Structure 1
Amino acid sequence: MIHSPGFHCSLFFDLGGPQASTILTSSINLINPPHNEFIMKKIISAAALFFLSSLTQAAIQGKEVTYTANGTALKGYLAYDDAITHNHPAVLVVHEWWGLDDYARKRAKMLAELGYTALAVDMYGEGRQAHHPDEASRYSGELKKNLPLAKKRFEAALNFLQKQENVDPKNIAALGYCFGGSVALEMARQGEDLKGVASFHGGLATEHPAQRGKVKAQIISFTGTADPMIPAEQVTAFKREMENAGVNYKAVTFPGAKHSFTNPEADDYGRKFNLPLAYDAQADKASWRETERFLAEVFKAR
């Protein structure tokens, strides 16, 4: 440290985490104001660069990945916090009927921000995306009619995620939106080794009801009372199914919420294709808060 007559200034930056707190110190000679201003600018610039570099070291990472099922290339998106170096839980994100898009990627990143490694899966294969409801209906219908195929593609994603660095293979959950919510629920019914499953505005009806003793996952579903695709009768039947099978579950309904209430682009899709879709900010935030608690609960015994 250099000592000089005048005013002594210290800047303290606590970066938290594994980075050590950093102190930038300088002595400023009040006799030469222009020189003082130059020094201060240098100090602040150096501090800013150091701070930004520390944030980069612990940034959320995201990358496109490819895995396979029965010879079909499945193109997913992996998100994680590279500052986490110990084994930790992970989450699968199953996309809406539009296919793996930026919305699914966003949810994967949000999970990574919570400390989970997340894989946004590709259920359609080759990264296919639908750009019209007819196309989406065709892609999703292929899997709805072929449960073994859906199961193989889901398990391929599960196996890929389990093998990722620092992922605890025994602590995996799945979230699904719309079509993806239905898929996640079907996988739970099939007895997939999942700690938890959360379905957001996903269809609750099934041709393969849960069997007592087969479902390993704890389940939570989120639906809107104004969703014509998931009427109240379907919610009631789902509750009865879960109770008959002895499943640990919770069914959450949001008054007035329509289909796709978690997706900010739902209104645009609704107007463009004349579909009963609408974003509901309150239901979106509430369901995510509940999901944070849900994941913490299902992973608590790890």
Structure 2
Amino acid sequence: MKYYVQLILLILVVSSVSCKRDKKEEVSKDEKEVEAVVKVKGTEVTYAADTTSMKGYIAYDENLEDKRPGIIVIHEWWGHNDYVRERADQLAELGYTAIAIDMYGDGKQAGHPDDAGKFAQSVMSNLPEARARFNAALEILKQHESVDPDKIAAIGYCFGGSVALTMANLGADLDAVAAFHSGVQLPVMPGSDLKARVLVCNGADDPFVSEESVTAFKEAMNATGLSYEYIAYPGAKHSFTSKAADANGEKFGLPLAYDAEADKQSWASMQKLFDEVFK
């Protein structure tokens, strides 16, 4: 009897170990399959507009075989940095090909708000040059082997949002534009040249975006008759999508703050827009 009890216990132990090993192997297999589904490849690119050299970054899932929409990503007034590249990678994970572009030239970055303001103003005050730089990046994106050139959108942050909206208002070949914590008092307001679906995601407590400018922007958009969405997140301040906002705000005495919920909601709104436009 004792022998049979020991035998049964041995069988149970072996069975338990075997089940755990099988389950572990199944999890490992599933993890490998997930890893194989998305494989983001990021590549630095250099392009030019007139005599200005720009440094960009293209990200895409190299495991996808079909052509896909291309998304232009425009940096904050700090310049082309790691943040804008991270956003390009996130778009690649969603199945798009994204190019983080350089609007200042030579990958120039600002270390202080004074410099950032000067760099941004130099772009927005010379629209022919800004347009040439944007279009140069647009052509690079359209020519990429993974991109469907008939499906293009642009997103931008802060200064980049204003650039994206302005380019769309100038008639850029875009299906959609999403602007985050962006000024809406633009050098070219929405009008008959606008073709893109527009989404603006701003903080309701952003002191850089006046109520008057929002009213004027909405009136101009309403006059176009085009579909658009303007979202103001309660309590959110400027630069709410950037995790570096708090440190920058404290360092330079600026009303900047990261807001995780507004960041999450605005990204979801962008995805919804793209789902609708590119369906």
Sequence identity percentage: 48
Cα-to-partner distance string for 1:275-295 (whole Å, 9 max, x where unaligned): 111111111111011111011
Among 206, 209, 225, the residue aligned to 1:227: 206
Among 269, 277, 299, the residue aligned to 2:256: 277
Superposed counterparts of 1:51-130, under 5 Å: 52=32, 55=35, 58-130=38-110
Between the aligned partners of 2:38 and 2:239, the Cα distance in structure 1 is 32
Deviation at 1:148, TM superposition (A): 0.6
Between the aligned partners of 2:30 and 2:68, the Cα distance in structure 1 is 29
Deviation at 1:54, TM superposition (A): 7.6
Cα-to-partner distance string for 1:170-216 (whole Å, 9 max, x where unaligned): 1000000000000000001000010000100111002322222x111
Deviation at 1:58, TM superposition (A): 4.0
Task: Give the AA of the match of 1:273.
Answer: F
What is the number of residues matched between the two proteins?
Answer: 268
Paired position in structure 1 for 2:4: none
Deviation at 1:73, TM superposition (A): 1.4
Q: Residue 209 of structure 1 aligns to a residue in which SS?
A: coil
Superposed counterparts of 1:200-215, under 5 Å: 200-212=180-192, 214-215=193-194
Higher helix share: 2
Q: Residue 221 of structure 2 aligns to a residue in which SS?
A: helix
Cα-to-partner distance string for 1:39-94 (whole Å, 9 max, x where unaligned): x98xx79x959964982574111121111111221111111001111111110000
Among 115, 123, 127, the residue aligned to 1:147: 127
Between the aligned partners of 2:140 and 2:50, the Cα distance in structure 1 is 14
Deviation at 1:166, TM superposition (A): 2.1
Paired position in structure 1 for 2:276: 297
Residue 267 of structure 2 corresponds to residue 288 of structure 1: yes
Between the aligned partners of 1:54 and 1:186, the Cα distance in structure 2 is 39
Question: RMSD of the TM alignment (CA)?
Answer: 2.5
Question: Relative contact order: is structure 1 or structure 2 higher (C-alpha 8 Å, sep ≥ 6)?
Answer: 2
Between the aligned partners of 2:223 and 2:30, the Cα distance in structure 1 is 58
Paired position in structure 2 for 1:24: none
Between the aligned partners of 1:256 and 1:53, the Cα distance in structure 2 is 41
Among 254, 271, 288, the residue aligned to 2:233: 254
* TM norm structure 2: 0.88
Between the aligned partners of 1:206 and 1:54, the Cα distance in structure 2 is 43
Between the aligned partners of 2:159 and 2:38, the Cα distance in structure 1 is 33
Moved more, 168-177 or 59-68: 59-68
Between the aligned partners of 1:182 and 1:169, the Cα distance in structure 2 is 23
